[in-house]
């Protein structure tokens, strides 16, 4: 049962993303509705259950763990989870423990995260304009996030900014954000908006700003060199020759990256999603909770689930509607 996780397309699964909560202190327009209904507490895996779950994946060969949400740093006592996971870094079983955060709580948590062995952090930031920041996050305050970024860098964490490319919203900040990141030695990755969750009043096709267009706009200001490096995920990278900066592009809608996919996603309720763009999932909470002293049923359930990992996703905007759309929100599966 301790055999490594290999899916039906011979891809080794070595990367687990874990959403530790569906809650958040922001309400970003492309991610959540304003009046979200969150899950009752008993549905959530406890921190001890999350530990057992993640440790089982590490036993099965997972080398990289990314903690996400919702906003992972609003989960009560989450630092005890990070501290406990650091034992797998110490043993060498885990190569990297990292997180994706909106940055709002980093002023408090950057140093304890570093002390727990975290070395890199992805921070989501779509604009450097205070008023626009309120518009896109509904509840967020830019100054608090900027303080969080300062704290992360002061603690020694390598920061990467993830920005969602939004038409008529941050197009005009392409160069200012690039320059701001260069001046602070921060890597920048642009994400194409994905058709997640119910569309509600938000017209996600209207929000769509193609990264091909973004790249073209960048090429008017910088000399771009394509980099061959891949991470097993949907990101591709360019270097800006004038600044030496690396710019990432996550384009799930315009490129097929699935052939090298090495990852699966665990929700805070213990559902394992095999692909961000498909509904295929397996419940791991039952085998975990029903067998508190025996890990074999959980290992079996994980192996069985990996055996169902689909070849790829079906997102497509080409017909001017969000085809291949999945109904769950990003805050459920984690970004």
Work out whether 31 is an interface residue with ligand SF4 (CB under 6 A): yes
Least separation in angstroms between residue 73's CB and ligand SF4 is 10
Residue 235 makes contact with ligand SAM by CB under 6 A: no
Judged by CB under 6 A, does residue 334 bind ligand SAM? yes
- Of 95-103, 105-113, 261-269, 274-282, which segment contacts ligand SAM by CB under 6 A? 95-103
Determine the interface stretch with ligand SF4 among 26-34, 199-207, 286-294, 295-303 (rule: CB under 6 A): 26-34
Q: Is 199 exposed, middle or buried (0-12, 13-18, 19+ CB in 10 A)?
A: middle
Query: What tokens appear for 10 in the block?
Result: 């011979």
Q: Give least dist CB 141 to ligand SAM, A.
A: 14
For residue 170, give the DSSP letter: T
Q: Contact with ligand SF4 (CB under 6 A): which of 7, 71, 126, 192? A: 71
Q: Alpha-carbon distance 278 to 327, whole Å?
A: 10
Query: In Å, how far are 63, 210, 232, 263, 298 from 20, measured between CA atoms?
Result: 18, 30, 22, 17, 19
Report the sign of the C-alpha dihedral through residues 309, 286, 68, 168, in that order. Answer: positive
Helix (H, G, I), strand (E, B) or coil at 247: strand
List the interface residues with ligand SAM, window 159-198 (CB under 6 A).
Answer: 162, 164, 191, 193-194, 196
Task: Decide if residue 116 touches ligand SF4 (CB under 6 A).
Answer: no
Q: In what order do the strands lie in the sheet with 15-19?
A: 224-227, 235-240, 245-250, 187-192, 158-165, 120-124, 96-101, 64-68, 15-19, 263-266, 271-273, 281-283
Of positions 15, 18, 58, 69, contacts ligand SF4 by CB under 6 A: 69
Indicate which of ligand SF4, ligand SAM, none lies near residue 94 (CB less than 5 to 8 Å, by partner kind). none
Q: Number of C-alpha atoms within 13 angstroms, CB side, residue 266?
A: 29
Indicate the residue whose CB is closest to ligand SAM: 335
Say how far apart CA 60 and CA 62 lie, in whole Å: 6
Binding status of residue 233 toward ligand SAM by CB under 6 A: no
Question: For the window 117-136, what string marks contact with ligand SAM as x by the rule CB under 6 A?
Answer: -------x------------
* 333 binds ligand SF4, rule: CB under 6 A: no
- Residue 32 binds which one of ligand SAM, ligand SF4, none, with CB within 5 to 8 A depending on kind? ligand SF4
Which of 19-27, 40-48, 223-231, 253-261 is the region at the interface with ligand SF4 (rule: CB under 6 A)? 19-27
The answer to whether residues 218 and 192 touch, using CB atoms and an 8 Å cutoff, is no
Q: Which does 57 bind (CB under 5 to 8 A by kind): ligand SAM, ligand SF4, none?
A: none
Sign of the Cα torsion 174, 177, 181, 184 reads positive
Gap between the Cα atoms of 302 and 285, Å rounded:
11
Q: How far apart are CA 148 and CA 123, in angstroms?
A: 9
How many residues bind ligand SF4 (CB under 6 A)? The answer is: 13
32 binds ligand SF4 (CB under 6 A): yes
295 contact choice in ligand SF4, ligand SAM, none (CB below 5 to 8 Å, kind-dependent): none
Q: Which residues bind ligand SF4 (CB under 6 A)?
A: 24, 26-28, 31-32, 69-71, 102, 124, 330-331
Which residues contact ligand SAM (rule: CB under 6 A)?
24, 30-31, 68-69, 71, 100-102, 124, 162, 164, 191, 193-194, 196, 330-331, 334-335
């Amino acid at each position: 049962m301790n055999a490594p996780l290999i899916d039906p397309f011979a891809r080794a699964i070595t990367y687990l993303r874990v959403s530790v909560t569906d809650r958040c202190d922001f309400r970003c327009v492309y991610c959540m509705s304003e009046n979200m209904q969150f899950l009752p507490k008993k549905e959530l895996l406890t921190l001890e259950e999350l530990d057992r779950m993640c440790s089982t994946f590490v036993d099965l060969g997972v080398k990289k763990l990314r903690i996400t949400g919702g906003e992972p740093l609003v989960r009560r006592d989450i630092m005890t989870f990070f501290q406990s996971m650091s034992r797998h870094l110490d043993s060498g079983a885990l190569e990297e423990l990292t997180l994706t955060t909106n940055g709002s709580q980093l002023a408090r948590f950057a140093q304890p995260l570093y002390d727990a062995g975290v070395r890199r952090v992805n921070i989501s930031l779509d604009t450097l304009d205070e008023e626009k920041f309120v518009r896109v996050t509904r509840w967020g305050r830019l100054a608090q996030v900027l303080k969080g970024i300062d704290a992360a860098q002061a603690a020694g964490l390598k920061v990467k900014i993830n920005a969602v490319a939004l038409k008529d919203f941050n197009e005009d900040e392409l160069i200012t954000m690039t320059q701001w990141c260069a001046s602070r030695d921060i890597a920048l990755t642009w994400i194409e908006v994905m058709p997640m969750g119910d569309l509600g009043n938000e017209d996600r096709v209207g929000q769509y700003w193609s990264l091909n267009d973004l790249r073209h706009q960048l090429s008017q200001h910088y000399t771009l060199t394509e980099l061959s490096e891949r991470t097993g995920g949907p990101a591709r990278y360019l270097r800006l020759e004038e600044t030496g900066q690396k710019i990432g592009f996550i384009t799930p809608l315009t490129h097929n990256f699935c052939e090298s996919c090495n990852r699966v996603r665990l929700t805070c309720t213990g559902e394992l999603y095999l692909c961000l763009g498909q509904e295929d999932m397996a419940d791991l909470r039952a085998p975990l909770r029903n067998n508190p002293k025996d890990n074999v049923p959980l290992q079996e359930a994980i192996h069985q689930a990996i055996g169902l990992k689909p070849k790829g996703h079906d997102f497509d905007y080409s017909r001017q509607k969000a085809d291949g759309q999945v109904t769950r929100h990003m805050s459920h599966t984690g970004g």
